[in-house]
Amino acid sequence: MTIRSRRLLWVAWAVTLAWFGQCNEGACAEPILKIDTPLSPPTWALLERELLRQNSAACQIFFDKYFDDRGWLLCVERWGGDDGPDDAIENCLDWPVVHALGGSERVLSLYKKAWEGHLRQYTLAKTVDVPFARDGMYYKEFPVMMDWLHNGEGLVVFNLQGLSDPHDAALAKRVRRYAGFYMNEDAGAPNYDAQHKIIRSMFNGSRGPLMRKATGLDWAGDPIEIENRFRPRHGESSYAQMVEHFKDYNDIVGDHPQNLKATTLALNAFMLTQDARYRRWLLEYVDAWRERMLANNGIIPSNIGLDGKIGGEAGGKWYGGVYGWGFTVHDPATGRQVHRNQIHAGLQGFMNAYLLSGDDRYLDPWRKQIATINANKRTVDGREMYPRMHGDQGWYDYQPTKYSQGAREIAFFSQRASDLAEVSQDPWFAYLAGNNPNYPEQALRADLAGVGRQVAEIRHDPSTPDTRLADDPMANNPASVVSMIELVLGGLHPGRSGSALFCRLRYFDPASRRAGLPEDVAALIHSMSANEVVVSLVNINPLHTRRVVVQAGGYAEHQFTGASIGAQSRPLNASSVEVSLEPGAGSRISLSMKLYANAPTLVFPWDR
């Protein structure tokens, strides 16, 4: 090599280092971007940091009020659909996200203590009259048998723990055990029929499926004093009303779309272990439901018989069964007929399949279902009305707004213009489209105010442990992170269904080796498309450099292909990139990416 060639190579190398920053210990596993443009901290950045701080402090206040030193919830333990084991841990809804965003390490330890405590508490808690929970409401650290409206609520903490704590030994054992309940790996839990590809009952769990009609007692739990003591959240004023609430919740045998929520157990097991059998089972089960939708004129049926046939345990009616398309029941608290269709719960399984595959075949059936339902509109008094329910009489429960269950999720995943048009009035999607510029500050301020209101409720709550049901504290849970999920992560709020966290970006602190935004760092996603995300990163600290690892996707399922800061652009080929933020610096970065290019994983960037 000539001297001139060596000089040119040295110049090129120096330019690269200036752009990507210096590497520790002489080598970088991932490229490093450097931001040194001075930037006075924007309001949104200060609001984010304060919201994280207040969320963390408020979770401690909540825990001190409602849990003891063992992590047991201070309440009257009961089994049932009104209040039960699922509600005990649902009180910590969103706490895993608070930590995964960059909240205090204390939040992680608190929700883990609550999780461990409630497992022990409800394993020891037993029913007298409800037959299947007489030896403990939990068995093998999992509900003995219940529907997935409630099972999912009981997993809102566990299913997200891996975001922050993938090396936890107990987590590793449980993700395998829990998934095994639905893959016939536990002889005592024969929930899955591999021949017909069904979960055999709506009531299922660690003791297997309930293969008979359910009773009001099964749902309501043992008799309990109500008047002048408790205030059930469903409005009942007596135990008799609690049983009456569930008197028609009988037809549970056979499969129901709710059971698709169980696929999140297999998803977590796959993301932790990369064992292909979890992926195979998940896709097998979702594919079976997809075929049923196609065979049922584009509508997901609400009952699959033990023989695998649509409507097989509901007299051949595709719309039959508890929480089905035709599930309209009497509400004793109000004296009215109420519609309790829960088929949209099945979308969670299709979202999991999409995360694993990036294949539109898992979105298109739901897209077409929305169109099919809305095609059955009626004009009433000159106004178009759209159905929500279907029974013997055909479509009913007409409302003035279009049916849209799943539209938001479809638009998030697909990023197609036609899908985005369906949610153009949504405040977050409008912001991403450039039509709602005040949304970040408004949303962050609203969540910050919400934390304060909830803490005030906690401090003024007059209840005592013996007058408190498991779901009573839930109304005072101060964790408020919807705005940050949208604006920082570019994601969907997991809700109360035990869902995974679907988002475009996540952040890690390489200095402390933990998940979340590092101290003093704030992020704001401005726009997203099928091949790019534009995000601002800011270091509000004027004295110290901060480093942050930006990951492509909640579980590294995407791949960065390039980065642009101002007029400078560089190629990338990585699922994460480290950014160095000089004191008081900030800038927009355009990150080009290939979506769903990688197998999702819970492994942190520096361990991959």
pLDDT digits (tens, 9 = 90+) for 278-318: 999 999 999 999 999 999 999 999 999 999 999 999 999 99
- Which residues, listed in sequence order, are joined to residue 334 by a DSSP beta bridge? none
DSSP string covering 140-204, please? Answer: TTEESSB-HHHHHHTTTTHHHHTTT-TT-HHHHHHHHHHHHTTTT-STT---EETTTTEESBSSB
Predicted pLDDT of residue 234: 79
pLDDT per residue over 542-551, tens digit each?
999 999 999 9
Phi then psi for 322, rounded to 5 degrees? -60, 140
Report the pLDDT value the prediction gives residue 4, as an integer from 0 to 100: 44
The per-residue pLDDT for 233 is 77
Q: Identify the pLDDT of residue 15.
A: 34
pLDDT surpassing 80 at residue 415: yes
Identify the pLDDT of residue 31: 54
Is the model's pLDDT at 10 over the cut of 80?
no
Taking the CB of residue 65, how many other CB atoms lie within 10 A of it?
15
pLDDT recorded at residue 244: 95
Cα→Cα distances 392→31, 213, 357, 381, 492, Å: 61, 21, 37, 25, 36
**Cα gap 498→481, rounded to integer Å:** 16
Q: Which two tokens stand for residue 126?
A: 């037993």
pLDDT digits over 217-274, tens only?
999 999 999 988 988 777 888 999 999 999 999 999 999 999 999 999 999 999 999 9
At 1 the pLDDT is: 46
Sign of the CA dihedral running 381, 384, 387, 391:
positive
Domain ranges of the chain: 3-44+497-607
Helix axes 347-357, 263-273, angle to 10 degrees: 20
Output the pLDDT for position 228: 87
Would you state the pLDDT for residue 8? 38
For 12-24, the pLDDT digits (tens) are 333 333 344 434 3
**How confident is the model at residue 78, as a pLDDT?**
96
Q: Are 524 and 428 in contact (CB under 8 A)?
A: no
CA dist 560 and 571 (Å) reads 9
Computed over every residue of the chain, the mean pLDDT equals 94
Q: Tell me what pLDDT residue 236 has.
A: 86
pLDDT on residue 437: 97
Q: Which residues contact 438 (CB under 8 A, 6 or more apart)?
A: none
Kindly tell me if the per-residue pLDDT of 6 is higher than 80: no
Q: Please classify residue 222 by burial: count the beta carbons closer than 10 Å to its beta carbon, then call 0-12 exposed, 13-18 middle and 19+ buried.
A: middle
Tens digit of each residue's pLDDT (9 = 90 or more) over 251-267: 999 999 999 999 999 99
Interval 104-130: pLDDT, tens: 999 999 999 999 999 999 999 999 999
The pLDDT of residue 371 is 98
Q: Which of 342, 336, 330 minimizes the C-alpha distance to 405?
A: 342
